[in-house]
Amino acid sequence: ETGVTQTPRHLVMGMTNKKSLKCEQHLGHNAMYWYKQSAKKPLELMFVYNFKEQTENNSVPSRFSPECPNSSHLFLHLHTLQPEDSALYLCASSQERQRLRDTGELFFGEGSRLTVL
């Protein structure tokens, strides 16, 4: 496999359920990200991990709990979600820029479409 893979692609859960989203990158990158994409809104950065350490928590509610066991895997644990949490959750990875001219672009997975009933 290559690139960034996310599972599951689709998830329906009730507000009392506990589920997890998984992301795996095969690019050798050292940074991984969770983004939330809601309808008609810009992508919202949720969490950033650099070398397995969380470096960004963008005021995300505690019902979302990230986990990064190594630089290739990233999880988003979900519990007691609300219907407004229904969205496409995108995982991305990037390589730390070594030089100013390095682009540092993000490589995204196809996302996990979450529906909270």
Partner 1 sequence: AQKITQTQPGMFVQEKEAVTLDCTYDTSDPSYGLFWYKQPSSGEMIFLIYQGSYDQQNATEGRYSLNFQKARKSANLVISASQLGDSAMYFCAMREIQGGSEKLVFGKGMKLTVNP
Tokens read off for 30: 């050292």
Is 2:26 a contact under the CB 8 Å cutoff? yes
Q: Decide: is 75 part of the binding site for partner 1 (CB under 8 A).
A: no
Q: Decide: is 106 part of the binding site for partner 1 (CB under 8 A).
A: yes
Question: In Å, how far are 40, 41, 49, 58, 72 from 69, measured between CA atoms?
Answer: 33, 30, 10, 20, 8
Stretch that binds partner 1, among 13-21, 35-43, 65-73, 75-83 (CB under 8 A): 35-43
Q: Decide: is 15 part of the binding site for partner 1 (CB under 8 A).
A: no
Count of residues making up the chain: 117
Q: Name which position in 2, 16, 41, 59 contacts partner 1 (CB under 8 A).
A: 41
Which C-beta is closer to partner 1: that of 3 or that of 14?
A: 3
Stretch that binds partner 1, among 22-30, 60-68, 77-85, 87-95 (CB under 8 A): 87-95
CA pair distance 7, 21, nearest whole angstrom: 6
Residues forming contacts to partner 1 in the complex (CB under 8 A) are 40-43, 45, 48, 55-56, 88, 90, 92, 97, 100-101, 103-111, 113
